[in-house]
Amino acid sequence: MGKEQLSEQLQQADLFSRLEADDLASLLAIARTRQVSTGEILFSAGDPASGFYVLLEGKIKLYKVSADGKEYILRVVHGGQTFAEAAAFSGLSYPVFAEAMSPSSLAYFGADEFRNLIQDSPQLALNMIATMAALLQSLNQKIEDLSLREVAARLSRHLLSQAREHGGDVSDGVIFKLETTKSALAARLGTISETLSRTFKKLQQQGMVAVNRDQVTLLDCRQLQQVADGDLKL
């Protein structure tokens, strides 16, 4: 990958947006690119956290494994997003596993080298704070969903969110593919496959969605939002 192409891709990440040319040049000097295949593990929970990643293309899942071997997906990372920043700057270890869900291209930044850049770039420091704040908000929302919302509300919220990621505006008739298998989605939503299947069936029976394997069509976004908000029970 050429430096010009890498520079353009890095600028798509929130962490590196609004940087001046000099800052971008310094960033490129410490970036190390990496290609991974589907199923490849980038790091495991407990590994020393020496740096973080920017996903340039592909899809990465961050997950934990319970004592009984069950996998719980905390986040699915898409192109242009960063991950493992908090772990890298804590100086401790990665708290999760990171695995490629598709062939992926990444840029890696060592924590020590990146820390030196931040000292010389106020804009990069501000971007880092904003990125961390957005991640914290996302994790707080996930905790709220798991503790306070029923499975139907969690699933409806997830479908609406994924539709936005695919097309921006959410309206009746929007079609998209699920980003994970249904069993992985069940784990991500804190439930089991059987319960997820029953919930999908209820949403279909009430005319809110249509599901064909991994393809979802939103049919009634207004009612789906009501379910997501807990104002409408299935």
Share of the chain above pLDDT 90, in %: 38
Q: Indicate the residue among 123, 146, 169 that finishes a domain.
A: 146
Output the DSSP codes for 176-217. EE-SS-HHHHHHHTTS-HHHHHHHHHHHHHTTSEEEETTEEE
Would residue 223 count as lying in a domain? yes
Residue 55's pLDDT band (cuts 50, 70, 90) = very high
- How much is the pLDDT for 8? 85
- List, for residues 139-181, the tens digit of each pLDDT value: 666 666 655 478 899 899 889 988 887 766 778 888 888 888 8
> Which of 39, 34, 180 has its CA nearest to residue 100?
39
The percent of residues above 70 in pLDDT, for the chain, comes to 93
Q: What is the DSSP secondary-structure string of 25-79?
A: HHHHHH-EEEEE-TT-EEE-TTSB--EEEEEEESEEEEEEE-TTS-EEEEEEEET
Q: Say whether both 36 and 142 belong to one domain.
A: yes
**Confidence check: pLDDT of 189 > 80:** yes
- Read off the pLDDT of each residue in 39-48 and give the average, rounded to a whole number: 95
Domain boundary among 90, 114, 146: 146
Total of domains in the chain = 2
Q: Which of 146, 168, 184 lies at the terminal end of a domain, its last residue?
A: 146
- Residue 82: which of 130, 119, 123 has the closest Cα? 130
Taking only the tens place, the pLDDT of each residue in 90-135 is 878 999 999 999 999 999 999 999 888 888 778 877 877 777 777 6
Here the CATH number for the domain that contains residue 193 is 1.10.10.10
What range does the domain containing 190 cover?
149-229
* Whether 56 and 98 share a structural domain: yes
- Give yes or no: residues 78 and 133 share one domain: yes
Nearest CA among 105, 89, 99 for reference residue 10 = 105
Do 91 and 186 fall into the same domain? no
> Number of C-alpha atoms within 13 angstroms, CB side, residue 62?
18
84 and 58 share one domain: yes
Q: Are residues 54 and 125 in the same domain?
A: yes
Closest by CA to 96, choosing from 64, 51, 122, 54, is 64
Work out the pLDDT band at 24, boundaries 50, 70, 90: confident
pLDDT at residue 142, as a whole number: 64
pLDDT tens per residue across span 211-231 = 998 899 999 999 999 998 888
| Per-residue model confidence (pLDDT) at position 140 | 66
3-state DSSP call for residue 101? coil
Mean pLDDT of 35-63: 94
Same domain, 163 and 61: no
Please report which confidence band the pLDDT of residue 5 belongs to, taking 50, 70 and 90 as the band edges. confident
**Is residue 234, in this structure, part of any structural domain at all?**
no
pLDDT of residue 26: 86
Do 57 and 132 lie in one domain? The reply is yes
Same domain, 54 and 36: yes
Statement to judge: residues 125 and 190 lie in one domain: no
How large is the average pLDDT for residues 196-201? 92
CATH number at residue 52: 2.60.120.10
pLDDT band at 67 (very low <50, low <70, confident <90, very high): confident
Q: Average per-residue pLDDT in the chain? A: 86
Burial class (CB in 10 A: 0-12, 13-18, 19+), 68: exposed
- Comparing 42-51, 152-161, 181-190, the range with the smallest average pLDDT is 181-190
The reported pLDDT for the residue numbered 30 is 92
